Structure 1
């Protein structure tokens, strides 16, 4: 099984991480691991065979687990307590530096991870409701998405892992848009941001030398037939039937962009133009209830979507024409809200 493609699913309410194997059009159960309530984000260190996850209970912490690919078992190796829970974790510099964003605490930080163990934090940023952090491939820059401040903070990562603002230090979006998750193109010349309250994907041009982002075009990923209205901070999107954008990823090696919206429970497929420009929405696929997160497999064709309200995941294949076809579905646990391939 060491050569198999595995899927890890975080079930935040259940406090478990499910391990599945990607088969020929199937998701095959491998193991269930209890790690702690609130395990809604994790980052994989493939070289060391480690998973860094954030939990909320019994207290906020980063929990590092060894990952046995043969059995799917996760075993705790270290735990670093935190003042607030984390919404997002990302690794950079070949697993030597861990970045985390705290939505509840309004801060982000960097932790050196020598030998895979997070040490004392060496860098910090502060913005309202940080929801995501994404480093570039070289570990030179990091982008921090602040939903509460309607901006992306852009920082340089220093040699020792510290964080210094670029010039300018932030790039803004429209007030009330609620920026949430971000992904970089493979060539890192573009960044794509999904907004929670307006349901847009916004493209930014990225200067490779300086790391600075510049706002470019955008496209709505909301189902026009769903009758959804613009949301706002503190609202109940399901109760008020409001837009609830969630996650964004590129697929088919950059030929398409996928983004989820949770109230109507859809995956939007956006065609991509040359040079990474956003095209138009060519498909809206019904999916798991409240699709908070999803991931694209290394083959760039298979997609696994997690339903926070359904408690399960669905496997899709994306055709050359951009059509998503469901192949399989598995229950994983209450509050399924994070997916990564291993």
Structure 2
């Protein structure tokens, strides 16, 4: 299978912004992989070529047919891709977890093997920097599952299953644990597990080589009713940025992992109204590759809130990224830092936005149709 490399013509906004974050002169095309909810408009994982010099997206082509591969993770070697399947799989206790080999020349994904998430409703997956340990967040089951990753990229044995318990103040959404995200630090020594239902982030010490993790995690307690969903860490693990799905906030957490001390030092609204609104919820948190900006997607309000990172790690609201956005889920910033690709779940599209030095972005003419896109991941093209 060869991916169609036709591209859309960029508008003048993108061209004007192209020098704001200049990539290396030899920056070549990369693949953009899209995780989706399957149905009438989607059959699985899609791939598009992406040119970081011009910000142009190629026409998406089905790279692997699989049921609701909502969230993806890329192996640090860029040779393998992993996906969770949110729907229940016959004979499984939970949903599916899939390992694929990536053909860097064509974008094709070849399934290596699959596993059982054990907990219901797997919604997110991450892999440690060494490529040896895979964490899965099971939203419906309120749990996390850990797999070894073999040298050939296949899913190995199950290393751990962590079932959480408890509630918080929102009786409609926090009646039970709802684990939403797992993220490794840059050194691969800790994994942060975010639970919306418990208003808690668990911090596990991990040893990917030995395939072990701490029995009892350290706990970061978020303000009641926050509903923490996703997390981004600064490069030295001293600050975490956590979006509150339920109260529409961007939260700054000071981290002292060695001492086991954590403090929420700031909570800012992500919406212009300054307060939660019925039908609104946040989805994704991203730290710009240059470490100077934090972004949070707003569903319902249909924007991406932008914040500047100040010297002490706290945030300053600088505005909102808007346009033809409908239910923005995950979004991603390409390695050059010039472009933001926003997955519009209910808009059935992925659009390229041109970032400028202010940290804000404007839509370009590069927009492709993808059914119910949820996740965007980048892999160098071969």
Q: TM-score, normalised by structure 1?
A: 0.89
Partner of residue 64 from structure 1, selected from 82, 94, 99: 99
1:274 aligns to what SS in structure 2?
A: coil
Aligned partners of 2:372, 2:101: CA distance in 1, in Å?
A: 23
Task: State the Cα deviation string for residues 132-178 of structure 1 (Å, max 9, x = none).
Answer: 001111211111110011111111114523322567x2121122221
Matches within 5 A, 1:29-68: 29=59, 31-47=61-77, 49-57=79-87, 59=89, 60-68=95-103
Task: State the Cα deviation string for residues 228-278 of structure 1 (Å, max 9, x = none).
Answer: 52xxxxxxxxxxx33211101012611111111100110111112113221
Structure with bigger RCO (C-alpha 8 Å, 6+ apart):
2
Query: Shift in Å at residue 291 of structure 1?
Result: 0.2
Aligned partners of 1:323, 1:9: CA distance in 2, in Å?
A: 23
Tell me the C-alpha RMSD between the 2 structures.
2.2
Matches within 5 A, 1:306-317: 306-317=343-354
Q: TM-score, normalised by structure 2?
A: 0.80
Give 1:155's aligned residue.
204
- Cα 1:203–1:290 change in 2 (3 A) is same
- Say whether 1:17 aligns with 2:45: yes
Partner of residue 244 from structure 1, selected from 263, 277, 281: 281
Is this contact kept in 2: 1:18–1:332, CA < 8 A? no
Aligned partners of 2:67, 2:366: CA distance in 1, in Å?
A: 23
Structure 1 residues not aligned, in runs of 5+: 230-240
Aligned partners of 1:82, 1:27: CA distance in 2, in Å?
A: 32
- Say whether 1:172 aligns with 2:221: yes
- Cα 1:63–1:40 change in 2 (3 A) is same
Aligned partners of 2:117, 2:235: CA distance in 1, in Å?
A: 32
Query: Shift in Å at residue 219 of structure 1?
Result: 1.1
Give 1:260's aligned residue.
297
Structure 2 residues not aligned, in runs of 5+: 6-26, 90-94, 165-176
Give 2:155's aligned residue.
118
- Cα 1:58–1:146 change in 2 (3 A) is closer
Partner of residue 133 from structure 2, selected from 73, 97, 101: 97
Aligned partners of 1:302, 1:21: CA distance in 2, in Å?
A: 14
> Whose radius of gyration is greater, 1 or 2?
2
Task: State the Cα deviation string for residues 73-123 of structure 1 (Å, max 9, x = none).
Answer: 111111113333311110104211111110011110211112212222212
Is this contact kept in 2: 1:36–1:58, CA < 8 A? no
Aligned partners of 2:366, 2:327: CA distance in 1, in Å?
A: 15
